[in-house]
Amino acid sequence: MHTHTQIQDAARLPKALTALFAALLGLVFAAFVAPGTPAQAHDQLIDVTIETSDAGEAQALRLTFSDNVLEIGTEIHVTAPDGGDAANGTPTFNGRDVTQPFKTPLTDGNYTSAWRVVSSDGHPIEGGFTFDITEGAAGEIRPYTGTEEQGSDADQNAETAMAESDGPGIALPATIGAAVLIAAAVAIPMFIRMRKSAPSAEGQDPRASEE
């Protein structure tokens, strides 16, 4: 009876190997076609607007995010041309919008702003930008990373940074690839040992063991 069991195990080996390699191929396929987890899966800043009065004077800074950020931990700093604080009071929240009032009227010159909020998933996110005030009105809002950048170089750098931060990550494909290698390293030697230990289903007569 023992020989019958070995013959049955040997007969099942091709099917088991086929199932194993099909599973491995499926994992490899998923590693290459499945989109990676974005590097920034948290809420994102999608719009920056300077609110103005009826006369066109800058009144407040409004940040719009992809989701409702948490009120706790929110900081929005606005630095005036003389280095003073141009923010007035604390930010207000309205859905996905976070608004920071200015100390009006704003004097002409270059202003910088650094913001930090807590994403809806609990992770802090931050950024910065700069803008000019001319005769009370705000000009174009530009990215700010600690040094003033102007012209097309600033726009190109901002687009490059956005492309890098929004691009798909490699964590998921790398994890799947590692799982495939581990599964192959464990399963293939196991089946080789099973093949060596099992007698050939074609080369042995089951009746020999019964006698």
Q: Can you name the residues that pair with 66 across neighbouring β-strands?
A: none
Helices marked H in the chain: 2-33, 151-166, 171-197, 206-210
Helix, strand or coil for residue 37?
A: coil
| Same domain, yes or no: 51 and 89 | yes
pTM for the whole structure = 0.53
In a domain, 107, yes or no: yes
In a domain, 40, yes or no: no
Express each pLDDT in 36-73 by its tens digit.
444 446 899 999 999 999 999 999 999 999 999 999 99
**Average pLDDT value for the chain:** 73
Express each pLDDT in 174-204 by its tens digit.
555 666 566 666 666 666 666 666 555 445 5
Express each pLDDT in 154-168 by its tens digit.
344 444 333 333 333
* CA atoms of 156 and 154, how far apart (whole Å): 5
| Single-letter amino acid code for the residue at 91 | P
* CA atoms of 50 and 64, how far apart (whole Å): 11
Phi-psi region of 57 (alpha: psi -120 to 50; beta: other; left: phi over 0): beta
What's the pLDDT at 144?
83
What's the pLDDT at 194?
64
Residue range(s) defining the domain that contains residue 104: 45-166
Two tokens, residue 182: 């581990």
In a domain, 102, yes or no: yes
| Same domain, yes or no: 58 and 162 | yes
**How many residues does the structure list for the chain?**
211
Two tokens, residue 201: 């289903």
- Phi, psi (rounded to 5 degrees) for 182: -65, -45
- Phi, psi (rounded to 5 degrees) for 149: -120, 140
* CA atoms of 104 and 106, how far apart (whole Å): 5
Domains: count for the chain:
2
What's the pLDDT at 159?
43
Confidence of residue 126 (pLDDT cuts 50, 70, 90): very high
Residue with tokens 């609990």: 122
| Same domain, yes or no: 148 and 70 | yes
Q: Answer yes or no: is pLDDT of 137 > 90.
A: yes
